[in-house]
Structure 1
Amino acid sequence: MRRESFFARNPSVVVFLLCLAAFTLVVSVMSEGAGAGLISTSFIKTLGKTLCLCLVAVAMDLVWGYTGILSLGHFAFFGLGGYMVGMWLMYQRTHDIVAASMANATIPPTEQEIVDAIGTQIFGVVGSSEFPPVWAFADSLVIQLALVVLIPGLLALVFGWLAFRSRVTGVYLSILTQAMTLALSLYLFQNDSGLRGNNGLSGLQNLPGVEASQAVVSIWFLWASALALGLGYLLAAWVVSGKFGSVIRGIRDDEARVRFLGYSVEGYKLFIFVLTAVIAGIAGALYYPQAGIINPAEVAPIASIYLAVWVAIGGRGRLYGAVIGAAFVSLVSTWFTGGQVPSVNLGFYRIDWVEWWQVILGLSFVLVTLFAPKGIGGLFDLLAGRIVPNRHGADYGPDKGSFQEAEGRE
C-alpha cells in the first residue's frame, strides 16, 4: 500500500505556506523599501512583528491546544530570546559609536579603553560602568544567536523537568508557569540584574555595520519573520501529525489513560514544553529588533495571558487558528491603541478606545469561550466544508467534544 506524503495528508499546511508566501511578496512589492511606497515603513514593521507574534502563538497552541498544558509563561521565553539578540545589537552599535568618537584622539585608545567607554555608555544609566558576567559573549553574534535557543530551552528544560516529574497538572501548573514569569520579570527590573533594569535595551532597530535605510531593513526582517513562521508552522504540523501527535492529544484528553498504556507522559510533555520555548525564543529574537526596544515589562505575566487569549480567540487545537487569532488581535489592537479610531462622545461619557481596548479584548475572550469554543478557526472549517463523520453520537475521545480524528487530518 502506497503511503501518502506529509503534504498530501496535510493540505492545510500547503495552503498556509502559499498564503504566507503570497502575503510576503505582495507586501514587499508595495513597501517603501521596494520603491512603490504604498505601505509605510512603520506599518511594514508592524506586519513583521505580527508574524513573530503568530509564531509564538503557534508554539502556544502546540503546548496548550494539542498537549493540554496551559502555560502562562511562554512570553518569558519570547522576551529572553529578545534580550539575547538585543545584547549583541546594543553592544556592537555602542562599540561603533565609541570607536568612531575616539578615532581622532591624539593617542590611539587601547582596546580596554574602548571596552571601558562602551561599559560607561551602556550601564551609566544604572550607575555602573563595568560589564556584568551575563554580557561575557555580547561581542559575538554567533554565540548570542546560540543563546537565543539555549537560554529559553534550558530554562524550560529545568522548569519542565521539576514540574512534570512531580506530576503537577491543570491550574496548579498554570500558576507555577505564571510564578516563573513573574519572578523573571521582577529580577529583570532590578538594576543589578545586568540588563539595565527597567530601562531595558534600546536602539535595537539599528543594525551594526549596515548602511541600508530602515525601509530596506524592515523588509529584511519581514522576510526573516515570514521564513521563521513558515518553518515553525511546518515543524509544528509535522509534530502533531502521525503517532506522536496522537499521543500528545491523548495526553491532553486523558493523561492517566495514556500513562496506563505505557507511554512516558512526562517525556512527551517535557519535549513539547522545551520545543515551544525554543520557538518562542526565536520569535522574540526577530520581534524586538523590529520593535527597537525591550524592557522587563515585556515578560510580565499579563503578556503570557494575552498570548493564551489570542490562541483561544483564533481557535486552539488548530495551528492556523493560532495564527489567525494572533494576527487578528495584534492588528486590531494596533488600530485601536494607535489613536486611529475616533472617540465616541455620549454626552454623559466619552469613550476613548485606547482605554477601552483591553475591556473589548476581555469580553471577546469570554464570548468566544462561551459561544464559539472553536474560535475564528471554526469559521474556516465551515467555509471549507469540513464535515464531521457520523459516529452515531459518540465522542472521538474520552472527553466530551474532543475531535481527535478531525484534528488528525490537519
Structure 2
Amino acid sequence: MKNTFIARHPSVLIFLACLAVFTLVVTLMSHAYGTGGLSTSFVKTLGRTLCLCLVALAMDLVWGYCGILSLGHFAFFGLGGYMIGMWLMYARTEIIVTESLANSPIPPTAQEVQDAIGTQIFGVVGSSDFPLIWSFAHSLTLQLLLVLLIPGVLALVFGWLAFRSRVTGVYLSILTQAMTLALSLYLFQNESGLRGNNGLSGLQNLPGVSAGQDAISVWFLWASALALGLGYLLAAWVVSGKFGSVVRGIRDDEARVRFLGYSVEGYKLFIFTLTAIIAAIAGALYYPQAGIINPGEVAPIASIYLAVWVAIGGRGRLYGAVIGAAVVSLVSTWFTGGLVPALNLGFYRIDWVDWWLVLLGLSFVLVTLFAPKGIGGLFDLVTDRMAPNRHGADYGPDKGSLREGEGQE
C-alpha cells in the first residue's frame, strides 16, 4: 500500500474527496435531485466553474511545471466548444426541421431536409450550404473525436515548429498569442463556416432529451466534476516521478537538461499537446452549459485571464490553479452580475461591473509582488507548522533535503 500512487501523493486523494463532497452537496441542493436551495442558473455557474478549473489545471501544467507561458491555451478551449457545438446545433435543428416538414402533403426528400437544415443554420450569414468542416456534424461520436483531434493536431504542429526552432521565453508567448489572434480573426469571418460573429447558439438544449434544464444542469455538473477529477489525477501522475522531475528541470534550467541528454523538445511538445487536449475537453463541457459560443471567446485576452487565474491561485501547484480559477470565476460572477451594490463616494459613483477588471488586475499585481506563491501558498503555512522540528545541516541545496541525523539512520 505504501508504494501506490495515492499513498505517495495523499493530496490527490484529499482533492478528489473534496470534489466528490462538493458535487454531492450541490446535487442535494439542486431543483432536480434535492431541496431546491440552489437555482438552476447557479448550478450551471458552478458547472462552468469546474470547467474553468480544468483548463486552469492544464495551464498550470504547461506553465507552472514546464515553464512555457502559453497565451493561447484558451484557443484550444474554444475549439473544443466549437466542435461539440456543431453537433448540438445540427442535431437540434434537424429535429426542428423534421417536425415542421412532417405534415407536408408530399414527404420531403433527404436532400430537401438537408437544405432546410442548412438554411436554418447558415441563413444568418446569407448561405444555405454546409461547409466542409461540417461534414461530420451529424455524428456525435465523430464530433467527440474532433474535440480531441483538432486542438491536439493544432498544438502538435504549432509546438513542433516552435520547439524545434528553440523559441523560448517571451518570444514563445508572443507566438502563442499570435496564433490565438489569427484563429479569432478567422472565426469572425462569415466564410469560416462557423457563422462568423454570430457563433453557435442554443447549445444548452440536448437533442432528443426530454428532461428539463434542472436535470441537465446537474448532469453537466457531474460530467464536469468527473473530468476535473480525472484531469487532476492525470496531471498529478505526469508531474510525479522521473518524468515530472525532467519537466521541472526544463522549467528551471532548460540548457542543463539538454546537456544531460534529454530530448527537451520532445518533453515540451508532449506537455503542450496534452494540455491543449485537456483544455479542449474543458471547453466541450463548458459551452453547452453557457448555451452559446462566438469568436470573442477565443480572443487573446481570455488566455491572459487564464494566466492571471493560475498566478493568483499559485503557479506550480495543481490545487493552486484550481483554487485560483474557482475563486476568480465566482468572484467575477458576483461582481459582474450586479450582486454587489454600487459605492457612492459623493464625487464619484463606483459601479463594480465596470471596476471588476481593475480589481482583477490589481489583485494580480499584489499577488506577484507580495505573495508569489499565490493563494495555494497559504497551505505552506499549515504544512510548515505540522512538519517535525528537524536539526542538522542540509545534505543538499533544496528545501526538504536529508539532514545529518536522518542520513545516519
> Is the shorter-chain TM-score for this pair beyond 0.5, marking a shared fold?
yes
Percent of pairs with identical residues: 80
Counterpart for residue 79 of structure 2: 80
2:30 is equivalent to residue 31 of structure 1: yes
Counterpart for residue 187 of structure 1: 186
Distance in 1 separating the partners of 2:208 and 2:136: 19
Distance in 2 separating the partners of 1:384 and 1:185: 44
Structure 1: segments with no counterpart, 5+ residues: 397-402
Distance in 1 separating the partners of 2:28 and 2:150: 36
Q: CA deviation at 1:404?
A: 9.2
Residue pairs, 1:392-407, within 5 angstroms? 395-396=397-398
Closer, same or farther: CA 405–133 of 1 in aligned 2, 3 Å: farther
Counterpart for residue 118 of structure 2: 119
Counterpart for residue 150 of structure 2: 151
Counterpart for residue 64 of structure 1: 63
Counterpart for residue 352 of structure 2: 353
Q: What secondary structure does 2:205 align onto?
A: coil
Distance in 1 separating the partners of 2:118 and 2:66: 44
Residue pairs, 1:111-260, within 5 angstroms? 111-260=110-259
Closer, same or farther: CA 393–46 of 1 in aligned 2, 3 Å: farther
2:332 is equivalent to residue 367 of structure 1: no
Distance in 2 separating the partners of 1:243 and 1:327: 30
Distance in 2 separating the partners of 1:46 and 1:4: 39
Closer, same or farther: CA 294–163 of 1 in aligned 2, 3 Å: same
Q: What secondary structure does 2:153 align onto?
A: helix
2:292 is equivalent to residue 317 of structure 1: no
1:162-187 Cα shifts (integer Å, max 9, x gaps): 00000000000000000000000000
Distance in 1 separating the partners of 2:400 and 2:201: 45
Q: CA deviation at 1:90?
A: 0.1
Distance in 2 separating the partners of 1:383 and 1:328: 20
Counterpart for residue 343 of structure 1: 342
Runs of 4+ in 1 over 2 A off after TM superposition: 383-396, 403-406
Q: CA deviation at 1:393?
A: 11
Q: TM-score, normalised by structure 1?
A: 0.95
Q: CA deviation at 1:4?
A: 1.6
Distance in 1 separating the partners of 2:387 and 2:169: 31
C-alpha contact (below 8 Å) 1:123/1:130 kept by paired residues: yes
C-alpha contact (below 8 Å) 1:86/1:204 kept by paired residues: yes
Distance in 2 separating the partners of 1:209 and 1:228: 24
Counterpart for residue 381 of structure 1: 380
For 1:381, the aligned partner's letter is: D
Distance in 1 separating the partners of 2:363 and 2:226: 30
Q: CA deviation at 1:405?
A: 7.2
Closer, same or farther: CA 156–405 of 1 in aligned 2, 3 Å: farther
1:96-150 Cα shifts (integer Å, max 9, x gaps): 0000000000000011101100000000000101000010000000000000000
1:196-242 Cα shifts (integer Å, max 9, x gaps): 00100000000000000100000000000000000000000000000
Structure 2: segments with no counterpart, 5+ residues: 403-409
Closer, same or farther: CA 199–393 of 1 in aligned 2, 3 Å: farther
Distance in 1 separating the partners of 2:297 and 2:211: 28
1:39-91 Cα shifts (integer Å, max 9, x gaps): 00000000000000000000000000000000000000000000000000000
For 2:215, the aligned partner's letter is: V
C-alpha contact (below 8 Å) 1:249/1:404 kept by paired residues: no
1:245-289 Cα shifts (integer Å, max 9, x gaps): 000000000000000000000000000000000000000000000
